[in-house]
Structure 1
Amino acid sequence: MVQHISLVQKIKRMLKNDLKNPHMLIETIGKSVLGEDIECIVISEDPMKYGISYCEKQYKEITSKHPPSTSTNKDMKLPILINASIHGTEPVGAKVVLELVNYLMENESGDAKELLKHFIFICVPMANPDGLKKGTRYNENGFDLNRDFIFQTQPETKAIVNLIKTCNPVVLFDLHGYVSKFKDKIGLIEPCTQPHNPHYEYDLYIKWALPMAEKMENNLLFSRNNFFSNRYKNMKGVCIPFRDLSSGWDDYAPFCTSSYAILHGAIGCTIEAPSSGNDSIPWMLEAILGACQFLMDNKQEFLSDYLLFFQRGIHLNHPIHPNNFFPTCYIFTETNNTSYKVYRLVNHLINNGVKVDITLEDTTVEERFVPKGSFVARMGQAKSVLANTLLWEGEKEPKGKFSDICVWSLPLLWGVHSITTSTPLLAETKEISNKDLPAQENKTSHDKRIGIIYDGGLYRKQSHAGLKSCLNKLGFTVKEVHPRSLINKQSLEDIDVLIYNGFEHLFYTKERVKPIYQKHVLESKQQQKRCVKTLDYFLSKGGKFIAIGAGPAKITKSIFHLTNCTINTGKRNNNAIIHVDYLDHPINMGYSSKDIGFVYRPVWFSNTDGVEVIARISSDQDALIAGNWSDFENAKGYPVIIKEKSRDVVLIGLEICHRGQPEHLFNILLNAIYS
């Protein structure tokens, strides 16, 4: 892969050399997995006065019980957050930040001076410094950070989330590349196609997002003669998905930076550069400057709607949403078995800027007992759209073409029972902070030696990253086993349990994948046969094999020949939270007989007479809790976890560790390892 070490070094030199600039301040907002600083550049008239702390104070003022009127805020500095190179294979964003810094610093007497009257520019040039150095889309842990903004499993994501929560930008630009949907409309600037996240105050968002994008487009057309290549000189416009596409570029799932920022009141806008060539840098810069001009021209009205977003939340008045879409509050009551899960959820909510109270007395709500010490997330708060997004169950069969998973309920996937109510909670409460919560539980160390099938980056992903994260959280030390290493019979000698959760293509031969990915798969049919022999030998010596998800289940049958069951799979993008009937078995220890499961590219098993059935998809009418699973009726009642009787092979159809997110399901893997 192309490495960008020189770019990283250039950015670091720039940060060091410009420390004395009176309009610029550098702050470290976090660390990457490998310990690299995640730097934030603040540019304003006076960054010591108009910086991150100013933005935080400003937010508290406009969300207070007596906010200042819009007219008194006409001189308010508008924070604009620019997030760059969250994908390490897209260095254009980092380069654009460098150009923006130069533009603002070198034109102090002209347009830049005018910009600094109105804006505070908060720029993160390297949101993924480890990935940028190595030229990988993902971070050092193998995670796509731009799919991590609800669960926030990675340190880089947490740093950006904290910055968004603290600064509350009016606009967030997330800089990416490289996309061109049309020959003459090059690049891409959001807003998105449908389906949109149903929580958005979409009337306020689209009112500004669409004309801002079109102003950015106009600025690019006006400047096109300044570009070098004919492709840029001859462009007729930009692809604005909301306007130009029918579907497929949606903002339903708030896993990405820009769609997550909308929940904080920002106009979230992903910008995709048309190409990796040099013209892409001034192209992006001109787009951003066009947006700034648009905001200056419409500042008073724009600011009024920005304040209205938070006032709607405070007064629980969401005119575009149906009645009862927002409950009055969510209530979480801890028990001896779930207290650490409740604390985990409450801590997460507070870290995201959601206010949480604790009850100071016993009470009842809708005839349900709520003991003293329960936690309450009221929806009558400035960021109610964020709070409800994190906490709701989700929709059944939402319509549209999705670019990512469409279910993410934190209470369900983290194993926290929540009570929702549409009536006011009358008990006395007080707001709490993170400091009021006890420390999280410590990890337990384990003696089992675990090996996992390693995905080095097939299809620009490390599909085993969620599995590895899950095992680390459970306290296991993990050995990564490349598929090709299995041709050696001795490769599993120091492993007790081998686990496979990833693409089935890892055990295909190289002619079945594109040349760029061939190094991640097997060389030949002969290597496939040797892998089968290694696995058979491993199992004969008392080893255990666990396959998680659709791809590994298919390979377990078609190549490894370790099961005779029929493997049934749904569509690749189908995903859902479902009810599962967990039978009486050690693998299900700690789960109720009817508990939740999560599927992504669903898989279920039939012709299971020769195996032990451990869990089934519920056949109840309410078995589908939320999600998009087109052929769900075909899977109801069928096994979703099975175990071979003749050898220690377990097939788990649920995605119990997808992206390290569904923590409530992690113990299924722990139980399977030891059962």
Structure 2
Amino acid sequence: MKRRTSTAVVTVFTAAMIFGAAAAQAASISASVPIVRPTSPLIDMRASYPVQPQLRVFPDDPGDASIWRGARPYDEIAPLLNDLMSKSDRVSTQVVSHSAQGRDIYLVTVTAPETAAETARQEARRDTVKYDPIAAATDADLLANYKVPVWFNSNIHGNEWEGTDATLDYIADLATSTDPAVTEILSDRRLYFTVTNNPDGRVLGWRGTWNGYDPNRDFIRGATAEASIVRDLSAIIQPTYFIDIHGYTDVLQVEPCGPPHGGMPRPGVVA
């Protein structure tokens, strides 16, 4: 996991200021025309848990760069998640977006089962936290019963494979563990996992996306599905904690000093 320095925080704050100024300028041009930013049409937060569809299984790909790395190839992820869902009512999955090459981007939710009424109360508490934080801070029911949302995002850089494998191992342990501590965690929290945020980059062994962008530099522009889905899910999940798991390559990258899109387009493509 990468550490965020104070410099990175300042940079993010500055970007937010610029984005806010642009939005204000657009609003001043025509206050009567609402600015609507579309979200992925695949995002559909569930009415109860678990929700366990049969995920599409992709053909075996012996050219997947994950194999060379000793990591789990992309085509083995869906079968693993399908198997975990068959064994545990704690695991829910959904496809929330697609990569440029058409691979599924998964969101896995691990939590204790919830009825529709329990999920509705959870969503109401989340909205209170978002829209009326002062009231939320003194709401005894919310403080005692809100399932804290914790989100793990892995493999936003395609050639940083390790986070996906660690995440899948963690999900498997949570799914079947009889440890009372795990039971307590899943009763009090919803754990969300985007197990591979950049599946094309994972398969190709590239830092960036198939179309030549670094998705970790793309949250304002939203030129990639890989960055857009993180941006969109942030507003919907509203995580109390967000853990972005990176990995090691042969290049030392000190954020935020890299070019806006990483400077590593795929062959024949100018980013």
Q: TM-score range by the shorter chain?
A: 0.5 to 0.7
Question: What's 2:204 paired with?
Answer: 134
In structure 1, the partner of 2:46 is: none
Structure 2 Cα separation of the partners of residues 64 and 131 of structure 1: 37
**Cα drift, residue 51 of structure 1:** 9.7
Alignment CA distance shift 1:143-1:11 (3 Å): same
Residue matched to 1:78? 148
1:106 aligns with 2:176: yes
Task: Report the Cα offset of residue 143 of structure 1.
Answer: 1.0
Shift of 1:131: 1.1
- % identical equivalent positions: 21
Per-residue CA deviations over 1:201-255 (Å, capped at 9, x if unaligned) read xxxxxxxxxxxxxxxxxxxxxxxxxxxxxxxxxxxxxxxxxxxxxxx956xxxxx
The answer on 1:3 being equivalent to 2:65 is yes
1:114 alignment partner, SS class: helix
Instruction: State the Cα deviation string for residues 1-45 of structure 1 (Å, max 9, x = none).
Output: 971265212211112222342111101111111111111110001
Q: Contact between 2:153 and 2:245, CA under 8 Å: does it hold in 1? A: yes
Deviation at 1:110, TM superposition (A): 2.5
Structure holding more helix per residue? 2
Contact 1:79 1:121 in 2 (8 A): yes
For residue 28 of structure 1, give the secondary structure of its aligned residue in structure 2.
strand
Q: What SS does the corresponding residue of 1:33 show, helix, strand or coil?
A: coil
Is 1:62 paired with 2:124?
A: no
- What is residue 220 of structure 2 aligned with on the other side? 150
> What letter corresponds to residue 154 of structure 1 in structure 2?
T
Note the C-alpha offset of 1:178.
1.6
- Whether the aligned pair in 1 keeps the contact of 2:90 and 2:111 (CA below 8 Å) is yes
**2:257 alignment counterpart:** 403
* Residue 97 in structure 1 maps to residue 163 in structure 2: no
5+ unaligned residues in a row in structure 2: which ranges? 1-62
Which residue of 10, 15, 23 corresponds with 2:90?
Answer: 23
Cα distance in 2 between the residues matched to 1:127 and 1:136 = 13
Distance across 1 between alignment mates of 2:193 and 2:230? 11
CA contact (8 A) 1:56 1:166 kept: no
Tell me the alpha carbon deviations over residues 266-300 of structure 1, each in whole angstroms, 9 at most, x when there is no partner: xxxxxxxxxxxxxxxxxxxxxxxxxxxxxxxxxxx
Q: Do structure 1's residue 40 and structure 2's residue 110 form an aligned pair? A: no
* CA displacement 1:541-564 (0-9 Å, x = unmatched): xxxxxxxxxxxxxxxxxxxxxxxx
Indicate the SS of the match to 1:120: strand
* 1:367-387 superposed Cα distances (whole Å, 9 cap, x missing partner): xxxxxxxxxxxxxxxxxxxxx
The 5 Å alignment of 1:299-310 reads: none
CA contact (8 A) 1:44 1:50 kept: no
Q: How many residues align?
A: 198
C-alpha contact 2:159 2:249 (8 A) present in aligned 1: no
Q: 1:174 to 1:164 in 2, by over 3 A?
A: same
Partner of 2:3 in structure 1?
A: none
Distance change >3 Å, CA 58–CA 92, structure 1 → 2:
same
Task: Tell me: CA distance 1:40–1:63, structure 2 relative to 1, closer, same or farther (3 Å).
Answer: closer
Equivalences for residues 153-172 of structure 1 within 5 A: 153-172=223-242
RMSD: 3.2
**Per-residue deviation at 1:49?**
5.1
In 1, the alpha carbon distance for the partners of 2:101 and 2:73 equals 18
TM-score normalized by structure 2? 0.63
Alignment correspondent of 1:510:
none
Distance 1:70 1:18, change over 3 A: same
Q: 1:16 to 1:147 in 2, by over 3 A?
A: same
- 8 Å CA contact 1:32, 1:130 repeated in 2: yes
What residue ranges of structure 1 are gaps of 5+ in the alignment? 181-247, 251-401, 407-458, 465-479, 482-500, 502-658, 660-675
Contact 1:23 1:47 in 2 (8 A): no
Measure, in 2, the Cα distance between the counterparts of 1:147 and 1:175.
Answer: 15
- Show the counterpart of 2:80: 14
Confirm whether residue 461 of structure 1 aligns to residue 267 of structure 2. Answer: no
Matching of residues 200-239 of structure 1 within 5 Å: none
More strand by share: 1
Return the TM-score normalized by structure 1: 0.27
1:95-494 equivalent positions in 2, closer than 5 A? 95-178=165-248, 403-404=257-258, 461-462=264-265, 480=268
1:87 aligns with 2:153: no
Relative distance call for 1:22 and 1:53 in structure 2 (3 A) is same
SS of the equivalent of 2:102 reads coil
Secondary structure of residue in 2 paired with 1:89: coil
- TM-superposed CA distance for 1:74, in Å, is 2.4
**Cα offset for 1:115?**
1.1
Q: Deviation at 1:58?
A: 2.9
Q: Distance in 2 between matches of 1:52 and 1:13?
A: 27
Residue 4 of structure 1 aligns with an amino acid whose one-letter code is S
Cα distance in 2 between the residues matched to 1:103 and 1:132: 23
C-alpha distance in 1 between matches for 2:211 and 2:202: 13
Letter in 2 for 1:403: C
Q: Aligned AA for 1:462?
A: P
Cα distance in structure 2, aligned partners of 1:92 and 1:8: 13
How far the C-alpha of 1:76 sits from its partner, in A, is 1.3
1:503-534, Cα deviation, whole Å (9 max, x unpaired): xxxxxxxxxxxxxxxxxxxxxxxxxxxxxxxx
Deviations 1:66-101 (A, max 9, x none): 734253322211000000111111111110111111
Q: Work out whether residues 88 and 129 of structure 1, in 8 Å CA contact, stay in contact via their aligned partners in 2.
A: yes
Match of 1:619 in 2: none
Structure 1 Cα separation of the partners of residues 115 and 230 of structure 2:
21
Rounded Cα–Cα distance in structure 1 between residues aligned with 2:198 and 2:232 = 15
1:57 to 1:70, Cα distance in 2 relative to 1, 3 A: closer
Q: Work out the CA distance in 2 between the residues paired with 1:130 and 1:29.
A: 15
Q: Cα deviation per residue 1:548-600 (whole Å; 9 max; x = unaligned)?
A: xxxxxxxxxxxxxxxxxxxxxxxxxxxxxxxxxxxxxxxxxxxxxxxxxxxxx
CA contact (8 A) 2:100 2:210 kept: yes
Q: Is the 2:84–2:172 Cα contact (8 Å) retained in structure 1? A: no
